[in-house]
Amino acid sequence: MLDGALATSTRWELYRVLAEPVRLRLLALAAAEELAIGELASLVGESQPNVSRHLTPLKQAGLVLVRREGTRALVRIAEAATEDAVVADALASGRSLCERDGSLARLKEVLGERDRVAREFFAKEGSAPEAADVLDASAAYVAALARLLPDRSLAVDAGTGDGALLDVLAPAFERVVAVDRSGAQIERARARVARRGYSNVKLLKAELGASELRDAVGQGADVVFASRLLHHAPRPVDLVRQLAQLARAPARNGAKVGGAIVVVDYARHDDESMRDEADLWLGFEPAELRRFAKDAGLGDAEVVKLPAAFCGRGKDSHLPWQVMVARKVEKTK
């Protein structure tokens, strides 16, 4: 049974809404991926105003959800809609239309374009001179506190950038694998490692799903960190899944949890200027982060807002930061 307007509407109104092929295609694309109206317009070959016009009855019928993110409007299918037999049949027809016109296949290009923006930005940024970074006695305190951690054999720094997080991880863990897909960023991290004299850090220029990274991680990491990386991901849920794959599985000695995933990222905000920093997403709601964790097979997800004093002095220090900690859990049979 549908929620919203259609729950109290007659069935003929549902058929009327779904009688337009463009709407069927939009519905199918929104079911495949949450997309901006501009991306939908590009995929179906219609103007943005025309796409918005077709989305209006779909939204009023409770078939799609539209949320604002800064100046963008993002569209996804309403989960309850797929439970209706008529809508399910419409989705099948829409997918067939999208397969015939190639728009479903072009979804990969849309996600690739999102990714290209971040790649080019960090390749350029990585060549810039590094700002002064004074390492004070806090590293000694980190090393001391780390002895209280039950598992600190291996940490993964996903998207290490210039390696700033290594100043926390290297003193705390016996071994650290730091990975970034940008060669320029890896060179900046390498310079930091050399300055600090870290002998327990392995740097890798690789994608998160690369075989050389899996080989370096072996049986899995005790903790996988992703600091301010998620908002650059074309599909954040996919990135969380990749992080989860790098964490160690629950032990066979009865333990029901394995390695931890720590994601530091922005809470939802409306600062459009951050798009100039290759930010694809203007932060996330706590519920979104927990959903990403659940979809990645993680449990015990906890999201905590960070005090403003913890957010550094960079270009993003004025944004609200939050941290999600989740665990790799035993698969239920």
Give the pLDDT confidence of 35-88 residue by residue, as tens digits: 999 999 999 999 999 999 999 999 999 999 999 999 999 999 998 888 889 999
Listed range (164-173, 220-229, 245-254) with the worst mean pLDDT = 245-254
Q: For position 1, what pLDDT does the model report?
A: 41
**Is the per-residue pLDDT at 312 higher than 90?**
no
- The backbone torsions φ and ψ at residue 161, rounded to the nearest 5 degrees and listed phi first, read 60, -130
The CA distance from 216 to 202, in Å, is: 8
Which residues have CB under 8 Å from 9's CB, separation 6+? 61
Q: Tell me what the mean pLDDT of segment 109-135 comes to.
A: 73
Q: For position 128, what pLDDT does the model report?
A: 47
**Is the per-residue pLDDT at 2 higher than 60?**
no
**Is the per-residue pLDDT at 285 higher than 50?**
yes
Nearest CA to 261 out of 249, 278, 247 is that of 247
Q: For position 332, what pLDDT does the model report?
A: 63
Q: For position 313, what pLDDT does the model report?
A: 86
Tokens of 22: 């463009």
Listed range (110-124, 159-173, 269-283) with the worst mean pLDDT = 110-124
Percent of the chain with pLDDT over 90: 78
Tokens of 73: 């409007």
Q: For position 138, what pLDDT does the model report?
A: 85
Q: Tell me what the mean pLDDT of segment 158-186 comes to.
A: 96
Q: Tell me what the mean pLDDT of segment 203-224 comes to.
A: 96
Domains and CATH numbers, the chain: 4-105 (1.10.10.10), 138-329 (3.40.50.150)
pLDDT in tens, 130-167: 444 656 788 898 999 999 988 999 999 999 999 999 99
Which residues have CB under 8 Å from 199's CB, separation 6+? none
Average pLDDT of the chain, as a whole number: 91
Q: For position 207, what pLDDT does the model report?
A: 96
Listed range (7-16, 106-115, 170-179, 194-203) with the worst mean pLDDT = 7-16
* DSSP conformation letters of 169-229: HHHH-SEEEEEES-HHHHHHHHHHHHHHT-SSEEEEE--TT-HHHHHHHTT-BSEEEEES-
